[in-house]
Amino acid sequence: MSERILIVEDEPSLQETLVYSLKKEGYVTEAVGDGRSALESARRMKPDLIVLDIMLPEMDGFEVARILRREMTTSILMLTARDDEIDRVVGLEVGADDYLTKPFSMRELLARVKAQLRRTRLLREEMGQTGNTEPKHETLKFENLTVNLTRREVTLDNSPIQLKPKEYELLLFLAEHRGQMLSREFILERVWGWGYIGDSRTVDVHIRWLRQKIEKDPANPVRIVTVRGGGYRFEG
Ligand code: CA
């Protein structure tokens, strides 16, 4: 079955170009031009990926992402108007998976789209969600830290901790590779789906956020340790 992409872009010519290019690649697309319609379409269509502009009428892309993140795990590729660090960080905080700065080439967009969809497929396979809805293990336990895979819930000393969607995915990925040195690039590819082009600072930012939530002393981490010149290792 063709993968479905929801395009949210209010500029008619860019919207048209996006639809044309993605259809040509064989994707099923739907396009809307404002935030409210984006929510409606996403709920009805349940797309595999959402290409989401930030500056939109009615409700901006950040708000759309924030709301949708509570309802679905669909990948979100954000389009930002300027190469603005703030936009990028806010985008990642509200749960965007990747971002692209305007102007971009269609070739670049297609590469990002493919990387995201590939990541989603890998993740589904790893989670055993292909037809079989039961995850491989129900819970992962590391002393006082528990990850409940069925409920997507993380507890520390038996109290639930609030993780952003990407923090949860990152923790899960680290936990599943306990004791292994994971390079930033590898983490980026598997958790964000960037691989070839990604910005490894994104990994560092999320590791920092995670440490603040699961480490006793985030400045001297013992669960997620930094491997010099390499990446990170989850010790449990
Ligand atoms: Ca716009």
**Residue 85 Cα to ligand 1 middle (Å):** 18
Residue 132 clears pLDDT 60, i.e. is over it: no
**Residue 191 Cα to ligand 1 middle (Å):** 27
> Which strands make up the sheet holding 139-142, listed edge to edge?
139-142, 145-148, 153-156, 159-161
**Residue 62 Cα to ligand 1 middle (Å):** 12
Other C-beta atoms closer than 10 Å to the C-beta of 203 total: 23
**Residue 23 Cα to ligand 1 middle (Å):** 21
Q: Which CATH number fits domain 139-234: 1.10.10.10, 3.90.1150.10, 3.30.430.20, 1.10.240.10?
A: 1.10.10.10
More confident residue, 126 or 176: 176
pLDDT of the residue at 18:
97
CATH number for region 4-126: 3.40.50.2300
**Six token digits for residue 90:** 């806010």
Q: Which band of pLDDT confidence, cut at 50, 70 and 90, is reported for residue 96?
A: confident
Whether this prediction's pTM lies above 0.85 is answered by no
Residue 130 clears pLDDT 50, i.e. is over it: no
**Residue 162 Cα to ligand 1 middle (Å):** 31
Average pLDDT of the chain is 87
> Which of 102, 41, 39 minimizes the C-alpha distance to 65?
39
pLDDT of the residue at 226:
95
Same fold, 4-126 and 139-234: no
Residue 98 clears pLDDT 60, i.e. is over it: yes
Domain ranges of the chain: 4-126, 139-234
Peptide linkage before 103 cis (omega within 30 of 0): yes
**Residue 175 Cα to ligand 1 middle (Å):** 38
Average pLDDT over residues 160-172: 90
**Residue 9 Cα to ligand 1 middle (Å):** 6
- Answer yes or no: are the C-beta atoms of 122 and 176 closer than 8 Å: no
Rg of the chain (C-alpha set): 18
Torsion region of 74: left, alpha or beta (phi above 0 gives left; psi -120 to 50 gives alpha)? beta
Detail the DSSP E strand segments found in 108-172: 139-142, 145-148, 153-156, 159-161
Separation between Cα atoms, residue 12 and residue 123, nearest integer Å? 34
Q: Which band of pLDDT confidence, cut at 50, 70 and 90, is reported for residue 198?
A: low
**Residue 56 Cα to ligand 1 middle (Å):** 5
> Which strands make up the sheet holding 49-53, listed edge to edge?
28-32, 4-8, 49-53, 75-80, 98-101
Separation between Cα atoms, residue 196 and residue 112, nearest integer Å? 10
- Answer yes or no: are the C-beta atoms of 235 and 225 closer than 8 Å: yes
More confident residue, 196 or 187: 187
Q: Which band of pLDDT confidence, cut at 50, 70 and 90, is reported for residue 192?
A: confident
Separation between Cα atoms, residue 41 and residue 142, nearest integer Å? 40
Residue 34 clears pLDDT 80, i.e. is over it: yes
More confident residue, 40 or 149: 40
List, for residues 41-86, the tens digit of each pLDDT value: 999 999 999 999 999 998 999 999 989 988 888 899 999 886 666 6
**Residue 34 Cα to ligand 1 middle (Å):** 9
**Residue 70 Cα to ligand 1 middle (Å):** 23
